[in-house]
Amino acid sequence: MEIITAYNTDAGLVKSMNQDSLSVKVVNSPHGKIVFALVCDGMGGLEHGELASKETILAMNQWFGNRFAKLVAENRVTEQAIYQQWQEEVTKVNERLLAYADIQGVSMGTTLTALLLYKGFYYVCHVGDSRLYKIADRIAQVTSDHTLVAKEVELGYLTKEQALVDPRRSVLLQCVGASENVEPQLAQGYIPDKVTFVLSSDGFVHVLKEEEMYQYFEPDHIRDKEQLTRICEEATQCVMERGERDNITVIAITCKA
C-alpha cells in the first residue's frame, strides 16, 4: 500500500503560542508499513497547555516504540491488546498531568486523537474535541466530540447548525490532564483501497465545511507528499482568512492499495 503523509500547524491569528502538538510516524515492518499519527490540542494559561499536549504526545509515542513494538515482534497484536494498553497509557499520563497541575496550582489539559494503521486496519484512540475524518467515496467523521454542545445535539436539545455557533462549543466534558477519570473513545475499521485520513484540532474545522474538506483531501486527487503538504497549507490559510482565532493543526494520511 502506498502511504503519503503531510501536516501543517499554525498559532493562528490571535494567540502568541501554539499549544497544539502533533506527531506522524511511518515505519517499515515484516507486515508492511505501520503509521501512527497524533494530534493534541492543549489548554491552560502560559505554557501549561503546550506542556500537556507535548507530554501526551511523548507518552503515546513511547507506547508505540516500546509496548506496541513488542506486540508486533511477538505477533500478539489484537484489538483487545491495543485498547487495553491505550486505556492504561491515557490513564497514566492523565494522572501525571493532574498531579503536576495540583503541585503547581494551575489548570491544564489536552485533547488527544490518535490513529494507528496496521495490517489493513485502522485503530483510533480519542479524547476531547480534536477530530478524525475518513475520506473515501464520501467524508465521515470517525470521532465524537466530547463537548457539552455535542451532547446536547445527541439529546436533541440543539441542532447541528445551532451547535456550530453556540458560545459553549469549546466546553469539554473530558480531556487528558483535567478530568479525574478519562474514558477514551476506542474504535477500529478496515482501511479502504483509497482513503485520506485527516486528523485535526478543532481550530481547523470550526469554519471549514465537510464538503470543502472532501474537495481538499479526496484521495484520487492526491499524487505525492509535496502536493499533499500544499493542500494542508492551503486549507489552513483558508481557515485563517475566515477569521479562525484558535491554533490550527491538520495531519493528512492518504493510502492507496
pLDDT, tens only, 149-171? 888 888 887 888 787 777 787 78
C-alpha to C-alpha distance for 58 and 63, rounded to whole angstroms: 9
56 phi and psi angles, rounded to 5 deg:
-70, -40
- Give the angle subtended at the CA of 212 by the CAs of 201 and 256, to the nearest 5°: 80
* 38 Rama sector, left if φ>0, alpha if ψ -120 to 50, beta otherwise: beta
Q: CB within 8 A of 123, min separation 6: which ones?
A: 79, 82, 115, 116, 117, 186, 187, 188
Would you call 61 helix, strand, or coil by DSSP?
A: helix
pLDDT higher than threshold 70 for residue 144: yes
- Least confident span in 14-28, 132-146, 151-165, 201-215: 151-165
pLDDT higher than threshold 70 for residue 2: yes
| Alpha carbon separation from 227 to 37, 126, 199 (Å, rounded) | 19, 28, 18
pLDDT per position as a tens digit, 16-49: 889 999 999 999 998 899 999 999 999 976 578 9
| Alpha carbon separation from 46 to 51, 91, 219 (Å, rounded) | 10, 24, 39
pLDDT higher than threshold 70 for residue 124: yes
pLDDT higher than threshold 80 for residue 109: yes
- Identify the pLDDT of residue 45: 67
Amino acid at 211: E
Q: Report, as an integer, the average pLDDT of 232-248.
A: 95
What sign does the CA torsion over 80, 115, 109, 157 have? negative
If we measure between CA atoms, which residue out of 36, 12, 68, 71 comes closest to residue 238?
12
- Identify the pLDDT of residue 159: 82
- Identify the pLDDT of residue 152: 85
Output the nine-digit C-alpha cell for 72. 508486533
Output the nine-digit C-alpha cell for 185. 473513545
DSSP bridge pairs for 159: none
Q: Which CATH class is domain 2-256?
A: alpha beta
- Identify the pLDDT of residue 46: 57
C-alpha to C-alpha distance for 240 and 248, rounded to whole angstroms: 8
Q: Please name the residue that has the C-alpha cell 502538538.
A: 21
Q: What is the mean pLDDT of the chain?
A: 94
C-alpha to C-alpha distance for 32 and 107, rounded to whole angstroms: 42
- Identify the pLDDT of residue 30: 87
Question: Residue 240: which H helix or E strand, with range?
Answer: helix 225-241
